């Protein structure tokens, strides 16, 4: 994509953001309101612990902590206990607990004003019977009894070629088939209306065209949707280091959001990549792009960006791409004060000790108290080799790094601080 095309897209999204900001402060469109603080309520090992009952006991405190949405792991029967190799999509007895326990958890979440988000795994589905090629590409004896036509031709089926990246080792679903899309929409409506989910997180979203996600959202009408479009960042140089310019990386995420008609948000993998590089190497200059804006998706389309430090894939016991543990509070100080919709990981809140938990919740309290939201304007004041400093909505100032910095104007009070970070609020 040329620079002129890229600039047109950026201007279009900035225009859409200004139109959104001019709309009423509260509406039925959760993305447009932009006040979400999401809690990922599981890790890679949660299936071992009777998870639905564990979470139900935590619901009252999660509500007090200030979260708005609670992202749950896949709830359907699965070949793998974590839920990411689904088989019978209508069976809610899983390694996390029984259907009765799940429904009890969802009821309690809603009673406490928390929106449950379902992890939607529809890129691939494990078959129940062998079909063509002696592969498990049929789904006999269960709801959605698809045959080989529901499986892409490049993963052992009789369907069309995949419209995205291939998830290796299992049948990938052919979303180009009308009967497949119809069945998936019916299932999503069941999750919404009968089971009681308020939002969806689309797993492995790069595996199929965003057009299909647009159709699924339009057909099932979740209050909030988030896509996991995890793409490789730009690396180069003699040491193959992360490149300063990640515009093409974040543009691919923005293009996916565009493909959904703007109906879905997406996880801001660009911000994660740049932020963890900045905190590890103290290269704070990375946190300002060439236009003086935040360098992730939050610099292009913040109302559709869900920022995060780690999740069940990047962190936990998988640790595919973990945020450096000694710097996680610097990471949270950034994403919780900045535009976008921050997502907090279970491990950091409940398994990293009381001080980490208190520090995270102090930041959440500041965001709530000062009414920061996904489109909050940010003015980057410093971004060099010593510090990063920014002012958000003229209500909050924050800094990262060891350098000496604080707001110079009167009426600023230190709200919270820790190793290599500090946050002030205007009083």
Q: Residues with catalytic annotation?
A: 203, 228
Residue 362 pairs with which residues in a beta bridge?
Answer: none
What is the rounded CA–CA span in Å between residue 307 and residue 309? 7
What is the rounded CA–CA span in Å between residue 345 and residue 359? 14
* Tokens found for residue 140: 């006999």
What is the rounded CA–CA span in Å between residue 119 and residue 99? 16
What single-letter DSSP state applies at residue 25?
A: S
Per-position b or e across 33-70, b if 16+ CB within 10 A of its CB: bbebbbbbbbbbebbeeebbebbbebbeebbebebbbb
* Tokens found for residue 200: 């969806």
Residue 267 pairs with which residues in a beta bridge?
Answer: 306
DSSP assignments along 255-314, one per residue: HHHHHTTT-SEEE-HHHHHHHHHHHHHT-GGGGS-TTSS-SSGGGT-GGGEEEES--TTT
Question: Which CA distances in Å does 402 have to 113, 175, 293, 416?
Answer: 40, 50, 22, 16
CA dihedral 363, 388, 36, 39 (to 10 degrees): -60
Q: What is the phi/psi pair of residue 38, to 5°?
A: -100, 140
């Amino acid at each position: 994509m040329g620079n002129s095309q890229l600039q047109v897209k950026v201007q279009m999204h900035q225009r859409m953001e200004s139109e959104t900001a001019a709309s009423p402060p509260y509406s039925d469109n959760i993305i447009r309101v932009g006040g979400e603080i999401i809690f990922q309520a599981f890790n890679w090992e949660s299936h071992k612990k009777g998870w639905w009952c564990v979470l139900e006991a935590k619901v009252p405190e999660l509500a007090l902590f200030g979260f708005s949405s609670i992202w749950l792991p896949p709830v359907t029967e699965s070949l793998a206990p974590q839920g990411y190799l689904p088989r019978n999509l209508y069976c809610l007895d899983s390694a996390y607990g029984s259907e009765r326990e799940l429904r009890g958890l969802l009821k309690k979440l809603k009673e406490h004003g928390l929106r449950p988000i379902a992890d939607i795994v529809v890129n691939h589905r494990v078959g129940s019977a062998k079909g063509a090629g002696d592969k498990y590409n049929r789904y006999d004896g269960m709801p959605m009894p698809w045959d080989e036509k529901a499986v892409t031709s490049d993963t052992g089926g009789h369907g069309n070629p995949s419209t995205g990246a291939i998830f290796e080792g299992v049948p990938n679903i052919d979303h180009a088939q009308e009967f497949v899309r119809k069945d998936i929409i019916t299932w999503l409506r069941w999750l919404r209306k009968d089971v009681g989910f308020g939002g969806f997180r689309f797993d492995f979203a790069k595996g199929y065209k965003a057009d299909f996600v647009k159709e699924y959202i339009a057909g099932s009408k979740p209050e909030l949707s988030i896509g996991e479009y995890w793409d490789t960042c730009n690396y180069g140089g003699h040491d193959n280091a992360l490149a300063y310019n990640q515009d093409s990386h974040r543009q691919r995420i923005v293009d996916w959001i565009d493909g959904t008609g703007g109906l879905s948000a997406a996880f801001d993998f660009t911000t994660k990549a740049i932020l963890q590089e900045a905190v590890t190497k103290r290269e704070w200059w990375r946190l300002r792009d060439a236009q003086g804006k935040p360098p992730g998706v939050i610099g292009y389309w913040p109302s559709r960006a869900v920022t995060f430090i780690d999740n069940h894939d990047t962190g936990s016991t998988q640790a595919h791409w973990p945020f450096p543990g000694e710097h996680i509070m610097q990471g949270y100080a950034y994403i919780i004060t900045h535009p976008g919709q921050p997502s907090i990981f279970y491990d950091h809140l409940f398994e990293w000790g009381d001080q980490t938990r208190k520090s995270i919740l102090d930041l959440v309290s500041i965001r709530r108290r000062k009414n920061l939201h996904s489109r909050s304007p940010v003015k980057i004041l410093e971004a060099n080799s010593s510090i990063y400093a920014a002012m958000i909505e003229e209500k909050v100032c924050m800094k990262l790094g060891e350098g000496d910095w604080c707001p110079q104007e009167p009426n600023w009070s230190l709200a919270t601080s820790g190793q290599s970070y500090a946050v002030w609020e205007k009083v």
